[in-house]
């Protein structure tokens, strides 16, 4: 399915972010996006959403899309409209969707009293955790609309595949010390 190939450059995010986290690089950007602000007495996003993370998680897909565009085998798998828009457009769309897609979920989790990295052991907690794995997929769909219209079925399949891949990446990140919890 061509839609899944569109998401491959997203892997640039964990590939770039893991060493930054593991070796605590770019410390001067390790400041919360919300600046410590609160809403209804609770943090807007929390300490885990930083300027460093936003920069790295946006830059990773841009670099990956630019590099992958040099590989004709990969580039030919993309929908014509995405290919025609170019690797920079694809990378920027994916990078921004990846970064901005996490913010609403983080906001709602803080408002529900769920600490960064924590999970609730309930049906709602499981659903939030699942959504958290692919929260950027709806943003990719939205941001790509001017270029290419992903069908609802394609978006649903992408959401499922991205969730599974993200869970695997989380476990690997935990194993190498880049994460404090496996999920």
Concatenating the DSSP letter of every residue in 106-156 gives HHHHHHTTPPTT---SSHHHHHHHHHHHSTTHHHHHHHHTTT----HHHHH
Window from 3-12, 49-58, 166-175 with minimum mean pLDDT: 166-175
What is the pLDDT at residue 116? 79
Instruction: Give me the pLDDT at residue 179, please.
Output: 74
What is the sign, positive or negative, of the torsion defined by CA atoms of 120, 122, 125, 129?
Answer: positive
Digit-coded pLDDT (tens) for 61-84: 999 999 999 999 999 999 999 999
User: In this predicted structure, what is the pLDDT of residue 172?
Assistant: 86
Which residues 6+ apart lie within 8 Å of 68 measured at CB? 8, 9, 74, 75, 87
What is the phi-psi region of residue 145: left when phi exceeds 0, alpha when psi lies from -120 to 50, beta otherwise? Answer: alpha
User: Contact, 9 vs 61, CB < 8 A?
Assistant: yes
pLDDT band at residue 171 under the 50/70/90 scheme? confident
Q: Give exposure, 92-101, as e/b (b: 16+ Cβ within 10 Å).
A: bbbbbbbbbb
Q: What's the pLDDT score for residue 30?
A: 97
Lowest mean pLDDT among 40-49, 117-126, 145-154: 117-126
Which of the residue ranges 79-93, 119-133, 164-178 has the most confident prediction, judged by mean pLDDT?
Answer: 79-93
Residue with structure tokens 């997203």? 10
- Kindly state the helix (H) or strand (E) to which residue 94 belongs, with its residue range: helix 87-111
Tens of pLDDT, residue by residue over 10-40, are 999 999 998 999 899 999 999 999 999 999 9
- Determine contact, residues 178/18, Cβ cutoff 8 Å: yes
Q: How far is CA 7 from the centre of its chain?
A: 10
Secondary-structure breakdown of the chain: helix, strand, coil percentages, each rounded to the nearest 5: 65, 5, 30
pLDDT band, very low/low/confident/very high, at 148 (cuts 50, 70, 90): very high
Mean pLDDT across 120-135: 86
102-124 pLDDT tens trace: 999 999 999 999 887 777 888 88
């Amino acid at each position: 399915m061509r839609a899944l190939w569109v998401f491959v450059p997203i892997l640039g995010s964990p590939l770039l972010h893991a060493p930054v986290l593991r070796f605590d690089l770019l410390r001067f950007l390790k400041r919360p996006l919300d600046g410590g602000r609160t809403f209804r007495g609770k943090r807007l996003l929390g300490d885990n959403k930083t300027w460093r993370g936003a920069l790295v998680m946006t830059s990773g897909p841009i670099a990956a899309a630019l590099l992958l565009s040099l590989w004709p085998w990969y580039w030919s798998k993309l929908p014509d409209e995405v290919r025609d828009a170019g690797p920079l457009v694809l990378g920027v769309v994916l990078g921004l969707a990846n970064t901005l897609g996490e913010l609403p979920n983080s906001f709602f989790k803080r408002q529900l009293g769920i600490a960064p990295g924590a999970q609730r052991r309930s049906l709602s907690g499981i659903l939030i955790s699942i959504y958290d794995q692919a929260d950027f997929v709806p943003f990719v769909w939205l941001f790509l609309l001017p270029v290419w219209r992903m069908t609802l079925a394609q978006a649903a399949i992408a959401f499922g595949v991205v969730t599974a891949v993200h869970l695997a990446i989380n476990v690997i990140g935990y194993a190498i010390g880049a994460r404090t919890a496996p999920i």
